[in-house]
Structures are given as C-alpha cells and as structure tokens.
Structure 1
Amino acid sequence: MARHPFLIPTALALALSLAACSKGEDRNAQALNALDQALADSEGTITASADVMKAAGGKLIPAPKPVKPAEASEESRTLGGLAAQQASTNAKRKCSAKVDYAMSWAERLPGDMPIYPGGGVTEAAGETGGCALRVVNFKTDAPLQDIMDFYYTRAVRSGFSAEHIVEDKEHMLGGTRDRDDGAYLVIARAAAGGGTDVDLIANNGR
C-alpha cells in the first residue's frame, strides 16, 4: 500500500461498488458458485499444506485462468468502472472515506477473507462506518498462483462470485455476495526476491 498511494481511494471506490451489482449478476454468480462447489468435491482440487487447507475450508479449487480487462465478462467491473459506479446513487452503502491506518485492522478482516496463512502484514487500514472497509497489505513466501487458488476457494465456499483479471503483471480476483452486500478484491503481484505481495480489500469487517 505504501507502494500504491492510489490504493486506499480505489478501495473506497471499490468495496461497495462491487456490492451494488445487479440481481441478474448474482444469479449468474450463484450458478457459477454451484459449479465450483461441485468441483470442490471432484478431481479439480489442489493439494496444499494442512494450515492452508484448514484456512481455506478444505482442498483448494484451482482459480480460473486470468483474462485481460478487455476480455472480462460484460458483468465484470474493472477498477475504473468500480470507481465510476461508486459515484452513482445506485450503491447500496457508502464507505465513509475516513480510513485509519493501524496494524490492528488486520485482525478485523471479515472471517471469510482471512490473511493467507503465514503472511506477514506490512500495513493495514480500516473504517467503522458505512461498509466497515478493511484494507491489508501482506507479504508471503507462497507463489502467486497459490494465493489466487486460496482466495478463489474462500470466495466459492463463502458464496461470493469471482472473476480473475490480470493487468500489468498484477492479478486481481474480486466478487460480490448479494445476501449481505459483501465484496472483496485481492490484488497480487510477484515480489522482488520471491514470494508474493498481496493487497486484500474487503467490506463487512469486524
């Protein structure tokens, strides 16, 4: 986040814009999630460490191959589109735009979007009004694909939609959940010297 001064404003624009997706998109997401649940019990799983599988709720489901923004589904929201939508009156809730930086916010992520096991928190921020936004940056020795698979599995098992987009060597996995206006975004990039740098953004924090 220190490397990305635009991240917090983007997160504010993002978190509840995601939650403003239409009912039609949610029906599509439900169908996708049903398919992914079936995959979780099939051969489409990944062997991971016991700690990672415990945090993921079981064996990992492979994340879908990433697409470029121009190739993403019509329903998908790019970061720019999310920011524009947040400015509209259609968003169900608004983030307060007043965020506080403190490492303690990392302990107040929503239970369905935890920090990857063993990840070391670099910076964290949050707010308590509106959407209860949480933004955490962490570093892990795990490769980028493991991060994508972990959060895709968490999303599927928690009832979120999920789309995987790649742009400028950054992988973005994000989606929504209609029942509680939930929204999340994971931005991951290969770290210098190995491992992965991750920005985890979610609403409905504790």
Structure 2
Amino acid sequence: MCKPILFTMLALSACTRPDEEPGETVDRDPVIAAALADPLLADPDLTGQNMGGAALTGGGPATAPIPPDKRGRDESDAALAAARDLLGGTIEPAPPAATKQTASRLAGALTAPAIARALGLGTPACADRVDYSAIWAARLAPPFEVYPRGHVGQSAGTDAPGCRLRVVGFSTPVAPDEVLAFYATRARRAGFAVARRDEGADSVLSGGKGTARYAVAARDRGDGLTEAILVVSAPGSAATPR
C-alpha cells in the first residue's frame, strides 16, 4: 500500500546549526557538509542568528538510503544529545494535540507546493514558484533548521519577491515526539506561537510570528526512522545580502 504525503516524495534532512564554538565538532549530512553558508531569513528578527558554515556547493539532493548504522540506538542518542546541546541542555515537551482527526491533510500531497498548501502555508501563486534543490535545506534559518544529524532527501523553495518559502524534509532515528519537542522549544524561545494537531499518522506543530509562519509534520516510518517535513513561509522578509 502506498504511503501518503511528501514523506514518500521528500524524505529529507540536512544539518545546519548556529555558529559553532571554537573546537566544537558538528555532524552534518554529506549533502550539506561540503558548502559555504548562504543564509535565508524565516523572520527579519532572526537575521543575526543565521548558521554560518552549512550550505551546499551544488548538485541535487541526496538519494542514497540511510545505512543501518545510522538508524540504531547509538545514532538516536547522538542526535538527541546534539539537540540538547543546541538548546542549552533542556528540551521542553511539545504541547498535547489540540485536535485529532483520522485522516491527514497531507495524504495525497505529493509535491512541495501541495504539501505547503496542505499545511496551510504559501498561497498557490507563491507555492507554485518553488524549485527543487538541496540548497534550500541549507538556507533554513533559526529556529527551523533541520534536526541535528538528520538526513536530507530533497528540498524545495523560492526567494521570489514577497514569496519566501521553504519545504524541506528529513529522516532521523529520533522518535516523532522528540523531534516535535525540539522544534516546540526552539519556536517558543524565538517568540513563535506553538500549537499541535494530530492527523492520522502525522503530528503537526505550527505557529507564527509577525508575517513568518512555520509547520513541522512528523511521523513514524515503521523501520526505525522518523520522517519529517519543515515548511517555513516569510512573505514579508528579505534575503540577506550575499
């Protein structure tokens, strides 16, 4: 039976993070590792926090399967430890689901524009302007970078005037609730609203701040991995100078 949603088409992930302290090492997805930062804004207030050192030199998204040694308990523990380090040692729980429904709006959403619209972000005129490239994963801004040690498959986005949109997915051996807790903590600390809803097998965290809005959907894939998708829309923001 076919799996619904972009989790089939865009099983993504990347590893961007704020500027590291001297001597600190960071594990990054191979697709993201070889690059030079080229930041994007999710919100004008976040410009000064852009991650330095995590972008791409080119090429498309990674397509190789995640090896078994990246799916086990050791890798999950390492990813959770990296997430805690980013948050100063404390990850706050995600809120309980305010609503629950049996069907996911992501079912049948097989393209980045369809996923953005299913999650309530990006007008059709904006979402339909995205293009697919791994560079968009590297251009996510705090607090919505890919989960530490995540693995990107594909990503899409646009920087068209008045239409800043990112649709980036990733895979991680960390459980869906832990992934949502990480983003809930980062979103709250950055001043974003945080709400949760459950739709079928998908749990969705969403909220906004000013003109910037985000949604994070996560589900258990059933093979030791969580698949997640990040959608960030900031129509009123502008890209930082390059």
Query: For the superposition of Structure 1 and Structure 2, which TM-score range results when normalised by the shorter chain?
Result: 0.5 to 0.7
- Structural RMSD (CA): 2.9
Distance in 1 (CA, whole Å) between partners of 2:134 and 2:95 is 32
Q: Quote the offset at 1:149 in angstroms.
A: 0.4
Q: Quote the offset at 1:137 in angstroms.
A: 0.9
1:186 matched to 2:216: yes
Note if contact 1:110-1:203 (Cα within 8 Å) is conserved in structure 2. no
Distance in 1 (CA, whole Å) between partners of 2:136 and 2:193 is 25
Q: Quote the offset at 1:114 in angstroms.
A: 0.9
Q: Which moved more, 1:195-204 or 1:169-178?
A: 195-204
Distance in 2 (CA, whole Å) between partners of 1:134 and 1:112 is 13
Letter in 2 for 1:111: P
TM-score (norm 2): 0.54
1:121 matched to 2:126: no
Residue of 195, 200, 203 corresponding to 1:163: 195
Letter in 2 for 1:133: L
Indicate how the Cα distance of structure 1 residues 105 and 57 shifts in structure 2: closer, same or farther if over 3 A, else same: farther
Distance in 2 (CA, whole Å) between partners of 1:101 and 1:165 is 28
Aligned to 1:103: 134
Cα deviation, 1:128-173, whole Å, max 9, x if unaligned, reads 1123111111000101111010010011011100111001110000
Letter in 2 for 1:120: H
Letter in 2 for 1:127: T
Q: Which moved more, 1:55-64 or 1:140-149?
A: 55-64
Indicate how the Cα distance of structure 1 residues 62 and 96 shifts in structure 2: closer, same or farther if over 3 A, else same: closer
Letter in 2 for 1:148: L
Aligned to 1:12: none
Unaligned 5+ runs, structure 1: 6-18, 20-47, 71-78, 88-93
Aligned to 1:39: none
Aligned to 1:61: 92
1:3 matched to 2:34: no
Aligned to 2:54: none
What SS does the corresponding residue of 1:142 show, helix, strand or coil? coil
Letter in 2 for 1:106: A
Distance in 1 (CA, whole Å) between partners of 2:189 and 2:158 is 26
Letter in 2 for 1:56: L
Cα deviation, 1:75-101, whole Å, max 9, x if unaligned, reads xxxx76947x957xxxxxx73621110
Note if contact 1:105-1:124 (Cα within 8 Å) is conserved in structure 2. yes
Distance in 2 (CA, whole Å) between partners of 1:202 and 1:99 is 12
Indicate how the Cα distance of structure 1 residues 82 and 168 shifts in structure 2: closer, same or farther if over 3 A, else same: same
Note if contact 1:103-1:123 (Cα within 8 Å) is conserved in structure 2. yes
Aligned to 2:226: 196
Aligned to 2:172: 140
Note if contact 1:69-1:165 (Cα within 8 Å) is conserved in structure 2. yes
Q: Quote the offset at 1:58 in angstroms.
A: 4.7
TM-score (norm 1): 0.63
Unaligned 5+ runs, structure 2: 1-5, 11-42, 44-78, 102-116
